[in-house]
C-alpha cells in the first residue's frame, strides 16, 4: 500500500544537519601551537651571550683605564694589558721557575705560585672579542685583537704554561672527511653479443667478441 494514501503512516520531516566549517585561525595555527609562540624572539646562544659579556667587560676596562681609552685608539698593546689584568681573576696554578713542582702536571702538595688565566681561556676570549669588534662596526684591518703582538703574546703564554705545568698543548688535527669513490664499470658483453648477431659473425668472430666481453672499462 502506498504511504501517501495510508493514514496510519506518520510522516517525519528530515532533520537538518549543519556542518560548521573550521575557523581560519585554527587552520593557520598548527596543532598544539599557541598564538604567542610564533612571535616570541629566539633566545641568544651561549656563545653569543658570552661574547656580549666579554665585550661589555672590555669596554668597561677602557672606560676605567687611566687615562681613559677610546675604542678607536685601542691597539694590540692595550689588548695585552687587558689580558694581564685578567690574570688576577685566574684559577690556574702556574708554577714559577724556582718552584719544586715546576713541570709537574700533578703536584703532590700546595705551593705559593700565583693563579693565572689558562691559555685556552685567553685564546677563546680573544676569538670572541675579535668577532665582537667587527660586529660593532670595526674594520678588520684595524682590529686590535687580531694584531701580531697579541698572537705572539698568546703563543708565549701557551709555551710558558706548558713548561710550568708539564702539560703540552698539542694542536688538534682536523679529520678530513673520507670520500669513497666507486669505479663505474661498463660491461661490454651485451654489446659484443649484439654485434655478433647483427653482423652474422661465425665462430671466429664470436670468439673475438667474447674476448672483448671479458674486459671491464673503468670510467
pLDDT tens across 53-100, in order? 999 999 999 999 988 899 999 999 999 999 999 999 999 999 999 999
For residue 171 the three cell numbers come to 694542536
Q: What is the pLDDT of residues 146-183, one digit of tens each?
A: 999 999 999 999 999 999 988 776 665 666 665 554 44
Q: Is the pTM of this model over 0.75?
A: no
Q: What is the pLDDT of residues 89-118, one digit of tens each?
A: 999 999 999 999 999 888 888 999 999 999
Place of cell 633566545: 43
Tell me the torsion sign for CA atoms 198, 203, 205, 210.
positive
Task: Report yes or no on 52 lying in a domain.
Answer: no
User: Whole-angstrom Cα distance, residue 140 to residue 135?
Assistant: 10
Backbone phi, psi, residue 35, to 5°: -60, -30
Domain count, the chain: 1
**CA 181 to each of CA 176, 178, 214: distance values in angstroms, whole numbers, following the listed order:** 15, 10, 23
At residue 155, the 3 state secondary structure works out as helix
Task: Report yes or no on 208 lying in a domain.
Answer: no
pLDDT of residue 13 exceeding 80, the answer is: no
Backbone phi, psi, residue 187, to 5°: -90, 125
Peptide bond into 129 cis (omega under 30): no
User: Whole-angstrom Cα distance, residue 138 to residue 130?
Assistant: 10
**What number is the average pLDDT over the span 172-196?**
51
Q: What is the pLDDT of residues 120-142, one digit of tens each?
A: 999 999 999 999 999 999 999 99
Element (H, E) at 93: strand 92-93
In the chain, pLDDT over 70 holds for what percent of residues? Answer: 58
pLDDT at 82: 97
User: Whole-angstrom Cα distance, residue 33 to residue 63?
Assistant: 47
Task: Report yes or no on 51 lying in a domain.
Answer: no
DSSP state of 88: G
Buried/exposed 52-61: b ≥16 CB within 10 Å, e otherwise: eebbeebeeb
Task: Report yes or no on 30 lying in a domain.
Answer: no
Task: Report yes or no on 197 lying in a domain.
Answer: no
For residue 173 the three cell numbers come to 688535527
For residue 191 the three cell numbers come to 654489446
Task: Report yes or no on 89 lying in a domain.
Answer: yes
Give the largest CA-CA distance in the chain.
Answer: 124
Task: Report yes or no on 60 lying in a domain.
Answer: no
pLDDT of residue 17 exceeding 70, the answer is: no
Could you tell me which residues are beta bridge partners of residue 186? Answer: 217
Task: Report yes or no on 49 lying in a domain.
Answer: no
Query: 122 lies in which domain range?
Result: 74-165
Amino acid at each position: 500500500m502506498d504511504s501517501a494514501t495510508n493514514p496510519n503512516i506518520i510522516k517525519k520531516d528530515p532533520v537538518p544537519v549543519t556542518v560548521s566549517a573550521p575557523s581560519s585561525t585554527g587552520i593557520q595555527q598548527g596543532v598544539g601551537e599557541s598564538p604567542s609562540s610564533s612571535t616570541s624572539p629566539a633566545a641568544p646562544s651561549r656563545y653569543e651571550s658570552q661574547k656580549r659579556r666579554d665585550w661589555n667587560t672590555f669596554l668597561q676596562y677602557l672606560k676605567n683605564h687611566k687615562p681613559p681609552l677610546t675604542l678607536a685608539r685601542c691597539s694590540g698593546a692595550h689588548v695585552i694589558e687587558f689580558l694581564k689584568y685578567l690574570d688576577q681573576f685566574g684559577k690556574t696554578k702556574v708554577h714559577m721557575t724556582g718552584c719544586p713542582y715546576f713541570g709537574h702536571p700533578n703536584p703532590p702538595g700546595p705551593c705559593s705560585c700565583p693563579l693565572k688565566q689558562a691559555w685556552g681561556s685567553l685564546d677563546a676570549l680573544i676569538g670572541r672579542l675579535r668577532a665582537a669588534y667587527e660586529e660593532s662596526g670595526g674594520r678588520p684591518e684595524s682590529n686590535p685583537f687580531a694584531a701580531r703582538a697579541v698572537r705572539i703574546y698568546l703563543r708565549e703564554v701557551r709555551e710558558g704554561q706548558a713548561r710550568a705545568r708539564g702539560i703540552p698543548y698539542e694542536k688538534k688535527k682536523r679529520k678530513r672527511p673520507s670520500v669513497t669513490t666507486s669505479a663505474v664499470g661498463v660491461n661490454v658483453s651485451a654489446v659484443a653479443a649484439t654485434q655478433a648477431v647483427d653482423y652474422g659473425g661465425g665462430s671466429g668472430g664470436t670468439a673475438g667478441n667474447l674476448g672483448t666481453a671479458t674486459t671491464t672499462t673503468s670510467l
